[in-house]
Amino acid sequence: MNRTFFKRSLLGLALGFSIPLGAWAQEPAPADPLALDAEAVKEAGIAVGVAAPQALAEELKAPGEVVVDAYSTVLVAPRVEAQVLSRKARLGEVVKAGQPLLVLSSVQAAETQGALIVAEQDWRRIASLGPQAVSARRYNEARVQRDQARAKLRAYGLSDGQIGALLRKGSAAADGSFELLAPVAGRITTDAFLVGERVEPGRTLFTLVQEDSVWVEAQLAPSDAERVKPGGAARILVHGGELPGKVVQRAHQTSERTRTVSVRIAVDNRADLLHPGELVDARLAIGDAAPALAVPAEAVVLLQNQPSVFLDKGNGRFEPAAVETGESRDGWIVVTHGLKPGARYVRKGAFALKARLLRSQLGEE
């Protein structure tokens, strides 16, 4: 019943007016919320498809754990015994390649810095005289001593830019201190050291991880793992959605503790949804299954707790139809009952139609 008419009826009764019985029947029926003109269909982003069987890949289900992509992970360690003077980057920070991470001080570096400055000055003097003014042996010795001092500092972790700055500053800069630079861009995931601590060569001070890509280690029974092939497609279910992945490799050893085989899946993580240590569910494709009637996942909505799709009845009219669904694969949902092959259904914009229907049930225009 129209609310405005109902209010007027109450007012008429209060004033003693009689309401003709036919007036109730003369109220126009409410407009069909699922009847849309062409402009409304366009605004709602509605696209219609034809229901047809889809050849969906058979999948294996497996639990998995997110781990760092070892091919995109770099350990940063000093190459010479040194003491940490100061920190220039912190845990969790994203750094660029060549960015200073910390300042170290080393006796060996100081000796080599001084040797390079002397060797560079000696070489410049001899080079200015030319090979005709000095013996060939002395000429070559001066050049080799300079090059060896340069190579030694590079081996300690100094860049050519740092070596050039040292030579420009001269002997005052030969104090053994130098900045340890980030070899690649990435996020700092570990920084196990304290300022003032003396560290040995090779000890990991920072771990840099490029998080655009991560691995998921899925655990499968040996018989199932044999069915998985490198390069195969996979899906990672996380945070109510899914991310596509690709099988990298399968371990050739069964875990003695779990009696499962690890299958490594590479996942694009530029959206930063996955983090090392997180537990996820993996779906691994192992071939094509028999074709099954399926619709895109976004075509199925819940109406009164019942999975439903909207059928296109023509001329801008749509109608909800309850369906029974099966497995979900590759963004498709198998429909087992309620939808026939060849039926025209809303493959995009189902949520907009659901919203219109709910507003109508709530009495909103």
How many angstroms separate the most distant Cα atoms in the chain?
Answer: 130
Mean confidence (pLDDT) of the chain: 87
User: Is pLDDT above 70 for 205?
Assistant: yes
**Three-state DSSP class for 232?**
coil
pLDDT band of residue 24 (cuts 50, 70, 90) is very low
Which pLDDT belongs to residue 221?
94
pLDDT band of residue 100 (cuts 50, 70, 90) is very high
Q: How many CB atoms lie within 10 A of CB 96?
A: 10
CA-based nearest residue to 264, from 74, 73, 71: 71
Find tokens 């199925």 and name the residue.
300
Residue range 278-291: average pLDDT? 84
User: Is pLDDT above 90 for 363?
Assistant: no
CATH of 58-70+211-288, one of 2.30.42.10, 2.40.30.170, 1.10.150.20, 3.40.50.150: 2.40.30.170
Residue 352 CB-half CA count within 13 A: 15
Class of domain 30-55+292-361: mainly beta
CB 179 within 8 A of CB 103: yes
Provide the residue ranges of all domains of the chain, joining segments of one domain with +: 30-55+292-361, 58-70+211-288, 107-175
pLDDT in tens, 56-83: 777 889 999 999 999 889 999 999 999 9
Contacts of 152 by beta carbon, 8 Å cutoff, 6+ apart: 112, 115, 116
CB 247 within 8 A of CB 229: yes
Q: How many CB atoms lie within 10 A of CB 271?
A: 9
